[in-house]
Structure 1
C-alpha cells in the first residue's frame, strides 16, 4: 500500500476536538438536507396533482428532475470550489436548497413548480459533490468513519421525510406545509456550517495541489458501480409496490416494503464506515454488491418473502452507497482531486440513474407486466457485482 501525500487544508484545520464535533455535526446535517425535497415529495404527489391539476408526466418530473440535477450540477462543483472555496460553496448550496424549497411551496402552477424543482436540484447536486471534499480536508485519518456518518445522515433524511411528509400535510391541511418543513433542514445545517467555520483555526489555508489525474479506467468503473446502484435503487422505489400488486399483494403491505427498505438502509450506512476501517473498503464493496444481487433475485423469484429480501437489499445498498462515497477519498491525494473524482462519479452516475424509472415504466407498458422489468434490475445488479469486484481489486492494489 503506497503512502498518501500530506493532506492540504483548504478549509482550515479544526482547532480542537470540540471544533471537530461542530464540523462533523454540520456535515451530517447538510447530508440530511439532501433528500427530503426528493424522497419526501413522492408520497405528496397525488395531493400536488389535485391542487395544481398536473398531468402524470409533469408530476413524474418531480421525481426524475432532481436525480438528473444531482448529476448535472455535480459537474459544477470543481469550478465553483476553485472560485469560492469549499466552505463558501457549501453555504451557497444550502441557501439555494432552502430558499428553493420555500419558494416551491408557494407556487401556483406547473411552470413555476418545475422551474423551482431545477433550483432545488442545483442545491442538492452541488452540496452532494462538496461533502466528500469537506470530509477529506477536516477529518484526515478518520475519513471512512466521517463518511459513514454523513452517508447515514442522507439515509436518515430520506427516511424521515418519507415518513412525516403526509402526516404534516394532513395535520396542516396542505402539502405546502410539508415542503416548508423540509426546507427548514438546509437552514439549520447552514447555521451549524457557519458556526463550524468560526470553530476552525485561523491559520492560513494551504492551497491544494491539482495532482496527477487518476487513470480513466478506474474512474469509469466507479461511474458504473454508482450508476448501477442508483438504477436498481430508484427503479425499486418507483415500481416495486406496483409490481407486487401484480404479484397479488395488497396495497398496505406493498407500501410497507419501501418503508422497511429505507429504514434498513440507515444502520447499514452508519456502520459501513466503521466496518471499512476494520475489514477493508474493497472487500466490503464486493461483499455488499453480492448481497444486493442475491436480494434483487429474491424479490423476483420469491415475492412471498418480499420483506426478507428488501431487508437484505437495504443492508447491501445502504452500505454500498456510503462506501462508494468513500472511494474518492482513497483515490484523491489532496482535496482538489477528491472534488474532481466525486463530481465525475456523482455527475455521470446520477445522470444515468435518472433514466431508470422511465425506462422500466416503458418496459412495463410495452410488455404488460413487471416481471421483465424486474429482471432488468437483476441484470444491472449482476453488472454491479462484476465491476465492484474489479474496483475492490484496484483498491487493494493501490
Structure 2
C-alpha cells in the first residue's frame, strides 16, 4: 500500500475534486431515467418487448465492452482527455434519446450514452489515484455516494417531469448535467496544457495489461466486482416480482422494497472505503457481505413473510462489495497507470458476470415455476467470494505481478 504525504484536501486540487463529484453524478442517470417511462415511449415509438429487453441489457454489456477499450484510449491520449470524451458521449447520447423519432435513434442514443458511462466507470478510480493519492478513502467515499444518488434520483423524477413536459424532456434533461461536469475538466486541461505529457500506459508499465489474465489478484478483484454486479442486476430486475409472489405484497410495496434495497448502497458507500483503508484484512469485509447476501436470500427462501424488510435490507447490505472493489483498485496499484489497467480489467469482467444475473435468475424461474432454485443459485454463487477474499486481502500490488 502506498504511503503518500497528506496535504489539505483541496490544496491545488479544487477543479479535480469538483470534477470527480460531477462525473460520478452522471454515471447512472441514463440507467434509471428510461424504465419508469418506457410505457409512454412505447406509445410514441411502438417499442417491442425485444427492444425493451435490449435497452435493459445494454448497460452492463456497454460497460464491459468500453471498459476493455479504456486503456487503449488512454495510451493515445491523456487520462483527462478520455474523460472529457466520455462526458461528450454521455451528452450526445442523452440528447439523441430525447430527440429520437424512431426506435433506431433511441437505441443508438442509449448505446452512445452507455459507452460514455463505461469509460467513466473505469476512469474514476485512476483519476482519484492520480489527483488524491493521499485521500483515496475520502474521495472514493464521496464519489461512490454520488453514484448511489445518481441511481436513486432519475427514477424518482422521470415520471413527474414526463407529466409536466414530455418523456423527451425527461430523457434529454440529463444532458445538462454532463455539460456542467465538462467545465472543471476543460479548465483543468487548459491549466495544464503546458505541463509535460502524462506517461502513457506503455511507457509507465507496458507489461501490466498483458499479465492481468494470469494474475490471481486481478482475477479475484474481478470476481468481487462481478459478485456485486450480478446480485445487484438480478435484484433490480427480479426483486419486485419475487416479493409479490413469495410475500404477497402489492406492486407499490414491492417498489418500496426495491427502493430500500437500493438505499442500502448509500451507507455501504459511506463506510466501506474508510474501513478498507484502515483494516489489515479486507477479506473480513467480503465475508460480511457474503454473510448478508446468504442471510437475506435464505430469509426470502425459508421465511419470506416473517420479516421481508429485514431480508431485503440484508440482501442490500451485500452491495458493500461494490465500493470495496472500487477502493481496492487503488489500494492494489502503485500509480494511476496501474489503476487504469486494473480498473479496466476488473470492471469489464465484472460487468460481464453481472449481466448474467438477471438472465440466470429469469431462466431458472421460468424452468421451475418458482423462486426456490433461483435463490439457491444466488446463495451458492455468493460463496465464490470466499476464495476471492483470501487473495485480495494480501497486501500486494498489481504491478508486482501479484
Same fold (TM over 0.5): yes
Counterpart residue number, 2:14: 21
How far apart are residue 144 of structure 1 and its match?
A: 2.1
How far apart are residue 188 of structure 1 and its match?
A: 1.4
1:290 lines up with 2:285 in the alignment: no
Secondary structure at the counterpart of residue 84 of structure 1: coil
Secondary structure at the counterpart of residue 204 of structure 1: coil
Distance in 2 (CA, whole Å) between partners of 1:194 and 1:62 is 31
TM-score by length of 2: 0.88
Structure 2: where are the runs of 5+ without partners?
Answer: none
How far apart are residue 161 of structure 1 and its match?
A: 1.2
Counterpart residue number, 1:351: 352
How far apart are residue 393 of structure 1 and its match?
A: 3.4
Counterpart residue number, 2:171: 179
Distance in 1 (CA, whole Å) between partners of 2:372 and 2:102 is 37
Secondary structure at the counterpart of residue 99 of structure 2: coil
The one-character-per-residue Cα deviations of 1:301-353 (angstroms, maximum 9, x if unpaired) are 33222222222333331x22111011121222122211111101111111221
TM-score by length of 1: 0.89
How far apart are residue 201 of structure 1 and its match?
A: 9.9
The one-character-per-residue Cα deviations of 1:249-297 (angstroms, maximum 9, x if unpaired) are 1111101111111122112212222222333444323323322332232
The one-character-per-residue Cα deviations of 1:135-179 (angstroms, maximum 9, x if unpaired) are 11000121122112111111110011122112211222x222211
Distance in 1 (CA, whole Å) between partners of 2:17 and 2:199 is 22
How far apart are residue 59 of structure 1 and its match?
A: 0.3
Distance in 2 (CA, whole Å) between partners of 1:131 and 1:272 is 17
Tell me which moved more, 272-281 or 60-69. Answer: 272-281
**RMSD value, Cα:** 2.5
Counterpart residue number, 2:322: 321
Distance in 1 (CA, whole Å) between partners of 2:8 and 2:78 is 19
Which of residues 81, 89, 94 in structure 1 aligns to 2:82? 89
Matches within 5 A, 1:133-148: 133-148=126-141
Q: Is the 8 A contact 1:232 1:380 kept in 2?
A: no
* Aligned residue pair count: 387
Secondary structure at the counterpart of residue 101 of structure 1: helix
Structure 1: where are the runs of 5+ without partners?
Answer: 8-13
Matches within 5 A, 1:299-338: 299-304=300-305, 305-317=307-319, 319-338=320-339
1:272 lines up with 2:272 in the alignment: yes
CA, structure 1 residues 309+29, in 2 after alignment: closer, same or farther (shift >3 Å)? farther
1:157 lines up with 2:150 in the alignment: yes
How far apart are residue 206 of structure 1 and its match?
A: 5.1
Counterpart residue number, 1:11: none
Counterpart residue number, 2:182: 190
Q: Is the 8 A contact 2:92 2:109 kept in 1?
A: no
Distance in 1 (CA, whole Å) between partners of 2:21 and 2:240 is 30
How far apart are residue 299 of structure 1 and its match?
A: 2.9
Secondary structure at the counterpart of residue 205 of structure 2: coil
